[in-house]
Amino acid sequence: MDGTTAKVDPALDELLAACKAGDQAAYAALYERYAAGLYRLAYSILLDVQDAEDVLQEAFIYAFRNLDHFDPARGEFRTWLYTITVSRCRNMRRRKLLPTVDLSNLLALGQEPPGPHRETPEAALARSQVRDALGRALAALSPRLREAVALRYGQGLTFREMAEVLDCPPKTAESRIRLAHEALSRALGPSGAGLLEELWSF
């Protein structure tokens, strides 16, 4: 953690202590607290529902069995979970080599992101088109760049936290985001850029 102090979360500390004491409800509470975020991370990287579920299960079983290995002095608990999840995603990718991505599956998943209030029909159409184009562009990214996008934008990690999870220098994490931006911009093309401008230029 480069000398920085991990954030203190008393509720989490109690939860972890209860888990270590064998409290079954604490395990379920820990799962409930982090499962959705970890699933989104796994899905954003793997783009496959079944694989994301498998990774989520593997990651939690591993985490539960190795709670003693978590060292709060070295980083936040969620970062530790992200590290486990990304590692499991890489293993899964290696096992399957993910030849193709089912775009219909990709784009239909999850709840619809909330749009701005009082969105006009034109803006809603533009947003839908951007989301479709962005979904295709994300699927075309290399796995490493998709990991970076998922951690930065999907989980809100800083470059330093990303570096911790991805086991790389912060500069590398930053450059992966920059490369991802370039690749996404290229994939979106002029029409996608025009739609983005229509949506966000204010």
The footprint of other proteins (CB under 8 A) covers 19-20, 22, 24, 27-28, 31, 35-36, 39-40, 43-44, 49, 52-53, 56-57, 60-61, 64-67, 69-71, 74, 80, 83-84, 87, 91, 109-114, 130-131, 134, 138, 149-150, 152-154, 156, 158-159, 174, 177-178, 181, 184-185, 188, 193, 196-197, 199-201
Reported residue count of the chain is 202
Q: How far is the CB of 65 from other proteins (least distance, A)?
A: 5
Residue 7's SS3 state is coil
Helix axes 77-96, 159-166, angle to 10 degrees: 50
Q: How far is the CB of 61 from other proteins (least distance, A)?
A: 6
The sign of the dihedral angle between the CA atoms of 146, 148, 153, 156 is positive
Which C-beta is closer to other proteins: that of 71 or that of 96?
71
Identity of the amino acid at 30: L
Q: How far is the CB of 64 from other proteins (least distance, A)?
A: 4
Which C-beta is closer to other proteins: that of 15 or that of 44?
44
Q: Which long-range contacts (CB under 8 A, 24 or more apart) does 2-6 make?
A: 2/160, 4/160, 6/72, 6/73, 6/74, 6/75, 6/76
Provide the token pair at 71. 């060292």
Q: How far is the CB of 49 from other proteins (least distance, A)?
A: 8
Provide the token pair at 112. 């619809």
Q: How far is the CB of 83 from other proteins (least distance, A)?
A: 4
Which C-beta is closer to other proteins: that of 12 or that of 185?
185
Which C-beta is closer to other proteins: that of 142 or that of 153?
153
Which C-beta is closer to other proteins: that of 27 or that of 140?
27
Count Cα neighbours of 30 within 13 Å in the Cβ-side half-sphere: 24
Whether 52 and 41 have beta carbons less than 8 Å apart is answered as no
Helix axes 24-46, 77-96, angle to 10 degrees: 50
Which C-beta is closer to other proteins: that of 15 or that of 80?
80
Q: How far is the CB of 138 from other proteins (least distance, A)?
A: 8
